[in-house]
Chains A and B, each alone.
Chain A
């Protein structure tokens, strides 16, 4: 889970940075989106790189979710009889909600692909016009809400997940703990703020 999580996290950083191009207007953004299809040319054919990336990400996602399910399954079996009294709330909210957050994110990924990749559920859904599709999306309050909720879940997921990956991969130790916690906080906030800036900008009319 740790390694697949880290790969997806790297993707998210790039994805978030790319999204910020929306603030430079439709021409910039749309040509950036078009460029994504041409990465690797002329060695690769058009969209080949994109497909490679999609396959890798999908594999990561499947592996990540599979491990999560397996781990959850194992953990439930490790305590067949639960405590009668409630456990005091010691760990952070992020830690305690990893599984719920993960489920929200899984559903969101499906929605997100149908919305802005395939365009099937997008109010506009016109291929080759991502800028306009995005603006159309966030003009609808409940679609914007889906994105906001998902991004908050992502924030919590990264906050615990990044530090947790450092533990699992054995990179953490007593001295580095503060460093990893800080990086986790900065990453979670930066990615979330970066992603959320787009729907907020659309809703506030900054991007139209």
Chain B
């Protein structure tokens, strides 16, 4: 099939960008979306033009590197990662708009590549359990009820791609932050730092310039790993509880 792509091109962080139109021909429905961009890039290189820069790595939907807004939707029309989106989701003659994640906390580096280090800083603020190597008791010393373990796992599957922020009309990072807080706060091992974790991570999240939550649910609808919207409510509960217990 033949497609028209309109892609955001921006040569550097401080440059202004624009949508540029490209034609790609002979696209196979079996190609992944990124493979379609590979073809475009090979073509651009041979024509002496700059290829489109985009982040990608594992291409199997787990590393969280890739991410672009395709026709207005984070990761495109299917609820999965961009690398797992295939061209069979499109039709011959389609016009496809491709833009980077847009958020003040995710400045564009080049074309479709954005800086998501704000996510790392949120984790650094408390998204861990302090268990230095060598200090651990036997793994069976503390049983974890299966529902708690499952809930922790469900939240722990977050891949940190940033689609939640990109999809949120407010550019909010609540779903990302809540996933890590819920993963750790529900486990017995996470109890000692339960309050400081939520307070510190939320403070950092706010300081990074993410927007506030208005419960639109767009984040959960775009999340390729299906982190539920209820995680945000749980985080709010944890936050209110922590604020009561440790006022500052």
Contact = CB atoms under 8 A, between A and B. Distances in A.
A83 B212 CA distance: 18
A85 B69 contact: yes
Interface residues of A, number: 33
A173 B233 contact: yes
A86 B95 CA distance: 13
Given A78-B171, A85-B97, A167-B229, 11 more contacts: A74-B170, A74-B211, A77-B104, A77-B211, A78-B211, A79-B169, A163-B215, A167-B213, A169-B236, A170-B235, A172-B233
B193 to A, nearest CB: 19
Interface string B97-121: 1010011110000000000000000
- Judged by DSSP, the binding face of B is mixed
Nearest to A95: B216
A1 to B, nearest CB: 9
A170 B217 CA distance: 15
23 contacts: A75-B170, A75-B172, A75-B212, A75-B214, A77-B209, A77-B211, A78-B209, A78-B210, A79-B170, A79-B171, A79-B211, A83-B69, A85-B69, A85-B72, A85-B97, A87-B72, A91-B217, A91-B221, A96-B216, A163-B215, A168-B215, A170-B234, A170-B235
**What 9 pairs between A and B have smallest CB-CB spacing?**
A170-B237, A78-B211, A78-B171, A75-B170, A85-B97, A170-B236, A172-B233, A75-B211, A164-B215
B239 A78 contact: no
B103 A78 contact: yes
Interface in B67-105: 69, 71-73, 97, 99, 102-105
A163 B211 CA distance: 20
A71 B216 CA distance: 14
Contact of A84 (B19, B170, B212, B217): B19
Contact of B214 (A82, A88, A164, A173): A164
- Judged by DSSP, the binding face of A is loop
Contacts, number: 108
B232 interface: yes
Contact of A172 (B103, B209, B218, B230): B230
A91 B216 CA distance: 6
A174 interface: yes
B103 A79 contact: yes
